[in-house]
């Protein structure tokens, strides 16, 4: 299907006013393009994998809407033009001109893939499933991933922080020798399954995963299969570990060597009290998804739950906190 795309050139100060006006006219699916950088709060709330580099904010905004091709849009465009002029009474709308272009239906669900390419975390090669494996990489420690609509390409700083901690606390390094070479791992907020898969490939004996989103179950199982991991190595459940007592009972009590949670700070804080009950004595809690201004708040919640913080690591504006039970 073809669509007519109408784009209003306005100002960043007016973009919300223009969007509201379009909504009042019954026009939905508005698209806003500007160069306003995301605040730390926005980044924490959105928790996105890719944050493009933007040019300096010039105060210009483009508000676009779509109308089906082949219909007469004269009346609705007249209403839009009048609406723009009315907004001038309240805010600087800039030029307020409307440009038109044609567009085809676009596969928005898959377009982001052109920005996701193979990369390394330490010696682990993370490769999207749609890329060919290069000959020189065929002997590498490989994780293949297709996150679908779930969070977890491995690109986000928080995922990388967690994988580095899994490397240390499963495989060990010069500063740490794990007591259990084949730990049982709980992955809270498993998303695409990337942390579960990393744990299994590093030597975990079993992973249990939870997530609020049913779509994550599909993504995780598909990625397990792509990475040639037997289904019996993992069990994955939909639910909220914070207050779902049945889920807490299902995943188990006092049976995990490692719990990893790459989720938002505002979720980690209320979840912290239920983590010690999942861990064995001496078990490790690896967590990220913590924007830097939330670091102390999360640390205090973890300590209040009776765990001892072992290390805190930073990458960009994001934080990992790793703690131990006992």
DSSP for 47-81 reads --S-----PPP-SEEEEEEEEETTS--HHHHHHHH
150's tokens = 């779930």
Tell me which of 57 and 170 has the higher pLDDT: 170
d(CA 242, CA 237): 14
Predicted confidence at residue 2, as pLDDT, reads: 78
pLDDT grade for 138, boundaries at 50, 70 and 90: confident
For the chain, list the domains and their CATH numbers.
2-106 (3.30.70.120), 111-325 (3.40.50.150)
Predicted confidence at residue 216, as pLDDT, reads: 87
pLDDT grade for 142, boundaries at 50, 70 and 90: very high
Predicted confidence at residue 107, as pLDDT, reads: 56
Q: Is 277 helix (H, G, I), strand (E, B) or coil?
A: coil
Range scoring the smallest mean pLDDT among 69-73, 149-153, 275-279 = 149-153
Q: What is the mean pLDDT of the chain?
A: 89
Q: Does the pLDDT at position 104 exceed 80?
A: no
Q: Which residues contact 22 (CB under 8 A, 6 or more apart)?
A: 30, 63, 65, 80, 83
Tell me which of 168 and 53 has the higher pLDDT: 168
Q: Does the pLDDT at position 152 exceed 90?
A: no
Percent of the chain with pLDDT over 90: 63
Q: Does the pLDDT at position 167 exceed 70?
A: yes
Residue recorded with tokens 């942390």: 195
pLDDT digits (tens, 9 = 90+) for 261-287: 999 898 999 999 999 999 999 999 999
> What's the average model confidence in pLDDT over 236-254?
96
Predicted confidence at residue 97, as pLDDT, reads: 95
pLDDT digits (tens, 9 = 90+) for 286-307: 999 898 999 999 999 999 999 9
User: Could you tell me the strand order of the sheet in which 307-315 lies?
Assistant: 234-238, 206-211, 184-188, 256-262, 279-291, 318-325, 307-315
Torsion angles phi and psi, residue 276, rounded to 5: -55, -35
Percent of the chain with pLDDT over 70: 89
d(CA 277, CA 326): 12
pLDDT grade for 112, boundaries at 50, 70 and 90: low
> What's the average model confidence in pLDDT over 55-76?
90
């Amino acid at each position: 299907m073809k669509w007519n795309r109408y784009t209003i050139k306005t100002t960043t100060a007016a973009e919300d006013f223009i969007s509201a006006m379009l909504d009042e006219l019954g026009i939905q699916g508005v698209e806003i393009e500007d160069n306003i950088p995301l605040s730390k709060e926005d980044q924490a709330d959105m928790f996105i994998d890719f944050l493009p580099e933007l040019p300096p904010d010039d105060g210009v905004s483009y508000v676009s809407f779509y109308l089906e091709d082949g219909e007469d849009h004269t009346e609705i465009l007249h209403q839009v033009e009048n609406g723009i002029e009315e907004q001038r009474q309240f805010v600087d709308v800039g030029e307020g001109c409307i440009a038109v272009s044609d567009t085809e239906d676009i596969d928005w669900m898959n377009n982001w893939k052109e920005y996701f390419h193979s990369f390394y975390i330490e010696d682990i090669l993370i490769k999207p499933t749609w890329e060919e494996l290069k000959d020189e990489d065929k002997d590498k420690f490989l994780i293949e991933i297709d996150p679908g609509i779930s969070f977890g390409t491995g690109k986000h700083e928080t995922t990388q922080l967690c994988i580095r901690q899994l490397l240390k606390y499963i495989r060990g390094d010069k500063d740490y020798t794990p007591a259990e070479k084949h730990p049982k791992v709980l992955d809270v907020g498993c998303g695409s399954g990337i942390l579960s898969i990393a744990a299994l490939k590093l030597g975990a004996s079993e992973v249990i995963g939870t997530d609020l989103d049913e779509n994550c179950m599909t993504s995780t199982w598909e990625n397990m299969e792509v990475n040639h991991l037997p289904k019996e190595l993992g069990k994955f459940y939909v639910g909220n570990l914070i207050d779902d007592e049945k889920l807490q009972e299902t995943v188990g009590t006092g049976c995990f060597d490692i719990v990893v949670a790459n989720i938002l700070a505002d979720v980690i804080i209320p979840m912290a009290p239920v983590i010690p009950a999942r861990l064995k004595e001496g078990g490790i809690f690896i967590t990220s998804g913590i924007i830097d201004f939330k670091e102390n708040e999360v640390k205090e919640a973890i300590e209040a739950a009776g765990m001892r913080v072992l290390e805190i690591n930073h990458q960009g504006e994001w934080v990992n906190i790793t703690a131990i039970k006992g």
